[in-house]
Copies of this chain bind each other. A is one copy, B any other.
Amino acid sequence: MSSTRDIDSLIEMMAKLPGLGPRSARRAVLHLIRKRELKLMPLADLMQNVAATARECTRCGNVGSAEVCDICLAPKRANGMLCVVEDVADLWAMERAGVFKGRYHVLGGNLSALDQVGPEQLRIPHLIARIAEEQITEVILALGTTVDGQTTAHYIADQIENTVRLTSLAQGVPIGGELDYLDEGTITAALNARKEL
């Protein structure tokens, strides 16, 4: 490679990001260098800011720049509903649909015997605590329809049944699909047609 070591390293790091590869990383870096002042500098500054401030919300697991995230802080969203998702990408997908007005609880994964992920590795004990603390009346399980997602949903249902109304996203979630891939309309339909567990 003829480029200097920093440019090479930058391409190498970009190439390892999910969704990129060596070729798209090279094109992205060249594009950024060509538009150094307009694109590369602002992007570098933004990354520094996010690297300095990004953190997990201690309450729900969303990412933001404060100890408690904007959604958890908004009084309007304390409507007694809690939507349980696997990860932050799923929370973002729900927010893009714009139809859910309550709060979230990000598990940080699914239960998995194979990967040795038990309830303690996820935010499940914390979920149970929140239900009491925040006067939750309905928990919506918005988990994937994969085997691990369904195992996780059943485990949570066993823990909290009879304490709250317990629902799951119903219509529209394709078998084996992941929430983050769904369009807004499908998510809206699934939420509106949610059913009792």
Q: Which residues of A contact B (CB under 8 A)?
A: 1-4, 6-7, 9-10, 13-14, 17-20, 23-24, 26-33, 36, 39-51, 53-54, 62-66, 69-71, 87-89, 91-92, 95-96, 104, 180-181
Residues of B within 8 A of A92 (CB): 1-3, 26
Measured between alpha carbons, how far is A23 from B181 in the docked complex, in Å? 8
Most buried by B among A53, A63, A65: A63
Residues of B within 8 A of A20 (CB): 19-20, 24, 28
Closest residue of chain B to A54, judged by CB?
Answer: B33
Interface pair A27/B33, CB less than 8 Å apart: no
Interface pair B33/A2, CB less than 8 Å apart: no
Interface pair B19/A69, CB less than 8 Å apart: no
Most buried by B among A7, A20, A42, A47: A47
- The number of times this chain is found in the oligomer is 2
Measured between alpha carbons, how far is A2 from B94 in the docked complex, in Å? 10
Given contacts A4-B70, A92-B1, A96-B1, contact A28 B17 (CB under 8 A): yes
Interface pair A50/B2, CB less than 8 Å apart: no
Interface pair A39/B13, CB less than 8 Å apart: yes
Distance to closest chain B CB from A25 (angstroms): 8
Distance to closest chain B CB from A29 (angstroms): 8
Interface pair A40/B33, CB less than 8 Å apart: no
Measured between alpha carbons, how far is A179 from B18 in the docked complex, in Å? 25
Measured between alpha carbons, how far is A89 from B13 in the docked complex, in Å? 17
Residues of B within 8 A of A49 (CB): 6
Residues of B within 8 A of A30 (CB): 63, 87-89
Q: Which of B27, B62, B70, B91 contacts A89 (CB 8 A)?
A: B27
Measured between alpha carbons, how far is A90 from B92 in the docked complex, in Å? 38
Top 5 closest pairs, chain A to chain B, by CB: A19-B24, A44-B47, A17-B28, A4-B65, A40-B51
